[in-house]
Amino acid sequence: MEFRSTYLKVLFCFLYTSLIFSQDARLIDYKSERQIINEERYPGAVILSGIESQVYFNHEGIEVWCNNAVFYQEANFFKAYGDVRMQQGDTVTMQSNYAEYNGTTQFAFASGKVKMTRPQTTLETDTLFFNRLKQQAYYRSGGTVRDTASVLKSIVGRYYMEDDKYSFVSDVEVTNPEYVINSEQLDFYSETGNAYMYGPTTIESETSTVYCERGFYDTREDIGYFVKNSRIDYENRILEGDSLYFNRNTNFASGTNNIRVTDTLNNSLITGHYAEVFREQDSVFITKRALAATVQDNDSIFIHSDTLMVTGKPENRIIRGFYDVRMYKSDMSGKSDSIHVNQQTGLTKMINLNTGPVTSVSVGRTPVIWSGNNQMTGDTIHLISNPKTEKLDSLKVFDNAFLIQQDSIEGYNQIKGKELTGLFVENELSQVDILKNTETIYYMRNEEKDLIGINKTLSSSIKILFQEQEIQDIYYYQQVDGTLTPEEELPENVRLLRGFNWRGEEQLMEKSDLFAGKAPPELVRIQGIPLPDEQEDFFDETDEDQPLLNENSRLRPEDLQDRKIDSIPTPPTGADIIPLPARATDTLPAPGRTDTIPAVPVRTDTIPPSSQVRRPLMEKTGKGKIEEEDN
């Protein structure tokens, strides 16, 4: 009874072990029209070759055709030579000059004009490793992938069949009729044509160059999204920002957070936190703390507004600002509701777009210019610069012109009229002419700066001369009616002209005043592109009992390493070959015919082909040759 129990246990263990082995390593099926055994040169192997049809192998969903093969049946391993074609299902086909396959580990290797075809892509390389258990292919000696829209090249590449994804590393290049991508690392999904780029990357075309260190690009729709040190270079404009969107079809780009738009021809810069660029219209829209900076006579002019627009070709570029415009220059500043700058003519228009009733708000929007301690206001102000010298030439105030200068001791010097023209010398106000219905209140002092009296005068026009931005002389013309009154005799309530509005507390004294009283904008949270998952070693051998390599492989253990340069030699052509027997015709011998094969006995009776071949032979080839191992 004890013996029977022990016997059953042993039998169960044997059957269980056999079942596990059969499930983990099913034997390779094959079919061949000719079989040769040469124990001296290929111990433990059978040499297979085709006559009418190619040699055929089948193993767990992968089929292989070749001209000749060396099959180690006990090791479940074969080497295939000549016109090799591997096919996995209906979606993967691989062609090569040479291939080998280990049925135990389902690890394959191919070399010599390797071409792997998928529904959307083809991969061409010199050598290719294929792990069926991981469903991954890998090359390291340079490869080319052809997509419906682009050609992708890299030194190292890996293909993930389940995700239909290529992962390219080292000197990645994507060539499209419209552009070329160069990247340090790139993941490409062949079904969608989407590419994810990591590390320094450029996308170059005739009209633009994109740079980023992490980004996404749809190679079929020509739409991109770039983060981390991103920039787009156009012919005369550079767009930079934390996040950039790019549409090649519409020549449109937008940026979010920390935006910089540089005009390389007009030497100007616009910043903000949201921008849109329309290349064909040569225009830029920018908002969220928008600021434009241009160089004029070795000095910078800064313009801030809620929204800035730059339009026109470089030779006729226009800058427009809307809502709460603020302007700052080292020797001048200003405010207005809106602004219009023509860089070609040098004309800057400061405008109040409000056409409603006069209110405290609308008065605050009235254009104003400060030069030194002089304040000039009016319905519209024009600043005119010389485009060649870039120096400020003149100033014009239209309707309700009002000039106020704070007296050095007390009170305000005031001059008003319908229109005002100011002339500048070396960017300093030197002369002002006021026309039509002019009025003045002027604090007259002697050389010791003692107050003589307050002069109140009406006239048709006035000329004022300045020295070091202080009123030096005043000339009145036509219909002059003036009175000099001692200070103590002139009441306080008549010392201000109608429409007086001193805004000195608003004057911009430094660049930071451009944003005075404004809270920093709340920046949009950028949706980043995560780094790719760290790749496991392609040649990771998790099962020490079943190494990837078979002892009969022409690969060496040191060949199974991730590296950029492949040192595996391709089998030689026309050297170290074993000749197969010659036949008068490529047909099997008739019954009773003696088939003589010099030096190589033929055994077709002891090693029959597998009876489990799933499909008939499909290709017809001529006689072939089996190439010798490199060992």
Q: Assess if residue 283 is contained within a domain.
A: yes
Quick check: 454 and 487 in contact, CB under 8 A?
Answer: yes
Asked whether residue 412 falls in the same domain as residue 293, the answer is yes
Percent of the chain residues past pLDDT 70, beyond the cut: 81
pLDDT in tens, 544-564: 556 777 888 888 887 887 665
| Nearest alpha carbon to residue 339 among 388, 374, 290 | 290
Q: Assess if residue 270 is contained within a domain.
A: yes
Looking at residue 59, its pLDDT comes to: 93
Looking at residue 593, its pLDDT comes to: 31
pLDDT in tens, 11-40: 333 333 333 333 445 899 999 999 999 999
Quick check: 152 and 145 in contact, CB under 8 A?
Answer: yes
Q: Assess if residue 97 is contained within a domain.
A: yes
pLDDT at position 96 over 60: yes
pLDDT in tens, 454-513: 889 999 899 989 887 788 888 988 888 888 888 888 888 888 999 999 999 999 999 999
Report the alpha-carbon distance of residue 347 to residue 277 in Å, rounded: 24
Domain count for the chain:
2
Report the alpha-carbon distance of residue 47 to residue 32 in Å, rounded: 9
Least confident segment among 276-280, 431-435, 454-458, 538-542: 538-542
- Tokens 């000197």: give the residue: 171
pLDDT at position 614 over 50: no
Quick check: 327 and 301 in contact, CB under 8 A?
Answer: yes
Asked whether residue 292 falls in the same domain as residue 426, the answer is yes
- Tokens 């006729």: give the residue: 316
Asked whether residue 296 falls in the same domain as residue 332, the answer is yes
| Nearest alpha carbon to residue 499 among 377, 317, 322 | 377
Report the alpha-carbon distance of residue 83 to residue 95 in Å, rounded: 7
Quick check: 196 and 216 in contact, CB under 8 A?
Answer: yes
Highest mean pLDDT among 3-17, 102-116, 341-355, 380-394: 102-116
Asked whether residue 337 falls in the same domain as residue 464, the answer is yes
Least confident segment among 147-156, 246-255, 347-356: 347-356
Asked whether residue 321 falls in the same domain as residue 465, the answer is yes
Quick check: 136 and 159 in contact, CB under 8 A?
Answer: yes
Asked whether residue 306 falls in the same domain as residue 453, the answer is yes
Asked whether residue 542 falls in the same domain as residue 480, the answer is no
Q: Assess if residue 248 is contained within a domain.
A: no
Q: Supply the DSSP string of 21-57, one letter for each residue.
A: HHHHSPPPEEE-SEEE--TTTSTT-EEEE-SSS-EEE
Average pLDDT along the chain: 81
Q: Assess if residue 221 is contained within a domain.
A: no
Asked whether residue 409 falls in the same domain as residue 498, the answer is yes
Looking at residue 235, its pLDDT comes to: 85
Looking at residue 297, its pLDDT comes to: 67
Residue 480, C-beta contacts closer than 8 angstroms, at least 6 positions apart:
457, 458, 459
Asked whether residue 511 falls in the same domain as residue 584, the answer is no
pLDDT at position 579 over 70: no
Quick check: 336 and 365 in contact, CB under 8 A?
Answer: yes
Looking at residue 338, its pLDDT comes to: 93
What range does the domain containing 59 cover?
2-134+538-546+578-627
Q: Assess if residue 173 is contained within a domain.
A: no
- Tokens 């291939």: give the residue: 99
Report the alpha-carbon distance of residue 418 to residue 250 in Å, rounded: 48
Gyration radius (Cα) of the chain, Å: 43
Looking at residue 383, its pLDDT comes to: 92
Looking at residue 563, its pLDDT comes to: 63
More confident residue, 146 or 388: 146
Least confident segment among 107-111, 273-277, 382-386, 560-564: 560-564
pLDDT at position 104 over 80: yes
Q: In which band, very low, low, confident or very high, does the pLDDT at 2 lie, cut at 50, 70 and 90?
A: very low
- Going from the C-alpha of 14 to that of each of 6, 63, 92, 583, the distances in angstroms are 12, 31, 38, 48
Report the alpha-carbon distance of residue 362 to residue 326 in Å, rounded: 15
Asked whether residue 310 falls in the same domain as residue 444, the answer is yes
pLDDT in tens, 68-83: 999 999 999 999 999 9
Asked whether residue 272 falls in the same domain as residue 353, the answer is yes
Asked whether residue 395 falls in the same domain as residue 432, the answer is yes
Q: Assess if residue 167 is contained within a domain.
A: no
Report the alpha-carbon distance of residue 405 to residue 497 in Å, rounded: 13
Q: Residue 126's domain is classified under what CATH number?
A: 2.60.450.10
Q: Assess if residue 280 is contained within a domain.
A: yes
Looking at residue 571, its pLDDT comes to: 52
Least confident segment among 191-195, 408-412, 559-563, 580-584: 580-584
Looking at residue 25, its pLDDT comes to: 58
Question: SS3 of 523, please?
Answer: coil
Looking at residue 343, its pLDDT comes to: 84
Average pLDDT of the segment spanning 227-238: 91
pLDDT at position 410 over 80: no
Least confident segment among 36-45, 116-125, 214-223, 554-563: 554-563
Question: SS3 of 261, please?
Answer: strand
More confident residue, 132 or 618: 132
pLDDT at position 594 over 60: no
φ, ψ dihedrals at 12, nearest 5°: -65, -45
Quick check: 173 and 154 in contact, CB under 8 A?
Answer: yes
Question: SS3 of 364, please?
Answer: helix
